[in-house]
């Protein structure tokens, strides 16, 4: 894990990139407050940062980019701020979906859709349906998402199968449960980045993050750009991933 300021190394873009990068986009409100601006402006600038990072991820050869766009815990925020966030989502999909599709980006959505406004559900479905055949980059949008809730839903599905006699309880393993998560076909993230200097996962991909490398950067999300992404990837490239095993031997 790292919490220092990162700068891209000279060869950052030449490194083999992580296959899957996930980002906790944190600090929009603090960015705005530091400039005497309303929180809504911070969220708007955050969308601009998202555009930059999606483009950069595509150019750097990343296959999967997951973004934490709206947490299941975000419902506790003021109604006006929730309205601003949903308005930005609507505008992002309506204004950017054609560009994403043109660039070969596939959109996937994880999280709970029950209880969302019908037009939001329709927009999420439209984004997935339009881009289903694309393969240049998969953009996974974690919307109304919480990792504990995702794991609980998976456990409930397995429990129903056991109760109905369609599965024996001794077949329930970690591998089995993982197949009942929201997107079981997507590989676990190699690298998870959180902006704004906070150092926690905040109920994001906790199952999938078991062996992810974590990089914490001190800048707020609206200031995140390609250079910051390359810096995080450079830090990732310096790590030795052992997945619970021993370090590789470097000498006889």
- Catalytic residue IDs: 26, 74
Question: Measured between alpha carbons, how far is residue 48 from residues 147, 216, 245, 247 in Å?
Answer: 26, 20, 40, 40
- Two structure tokens written together for 34: 């530091």
Of residues 90, 17, 29, the one with CA closest to residue 57 = 17
Task: Measure the CA–CA gap between 101 and 99, rounded to whole angstroms.
Answer: 5
Looking at residue 132, the DSSP 8-state letter turns out to be: T
Sign of CA dihedral 61, 62, 64, 67: negative
Q: Are strands 64-71 and 137-145 parallel, antiparallel or unpaired?
A: parallel
Q: Answer for the pair 30, 24: CB distance below 8 angstroms, yes or no.
A: no
């Amino acid at each position: 894990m790292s919490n220092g300021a990162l700068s891209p190394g000279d060869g950052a873009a030449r490194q083999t990139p992580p296959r899957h990068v996930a980002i906790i986009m944190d600090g929009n409100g603090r960015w705005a407050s530091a400039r005497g601006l309303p929180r809504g402006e911070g969220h708007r600038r955050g969308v601009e940062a998202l555009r930059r990072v999606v483009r950069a991820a595509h150019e750097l050869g990343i296959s999967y980019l997951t973004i934490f766009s709206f947490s299941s815990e975000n419902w506790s925020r003021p109604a006006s701020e929730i309205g601003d966030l949903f308005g930005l989502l609507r505008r992002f999909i309506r204004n950017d979906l054609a560009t994403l599709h043109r660039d070969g980006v596939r959109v996937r959505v994880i999280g709970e859709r029950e209880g969302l406004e019908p037009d939001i559900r329709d927009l999420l479905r439209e984004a997935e349906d339009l881009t289903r055949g694309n393969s240049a980059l998969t953009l996974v949008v974690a919307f109304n998402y919480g990792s504990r809730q995702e794991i609980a839903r998976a456990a409930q599905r397995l429990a129903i199968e056991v109760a109905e006699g369609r599965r024996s309880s001794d077949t329930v393993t970690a591998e089995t449960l993982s197949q009942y998560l929201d997107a079981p076909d997507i590989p676990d993230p190699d690298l998870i980045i959180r902006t704004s200097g906070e150092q926690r996962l905040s109920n994001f991909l906790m199952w999938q993050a078991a062996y992810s490398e974590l990089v914490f950067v001190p800048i707020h999300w609206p200031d995140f750009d390609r250079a910051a992404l390359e810096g995080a990837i450079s830090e990732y490239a310096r790590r030795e991933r052992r997945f619970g095993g021993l370090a590789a031997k470097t000498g006889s």
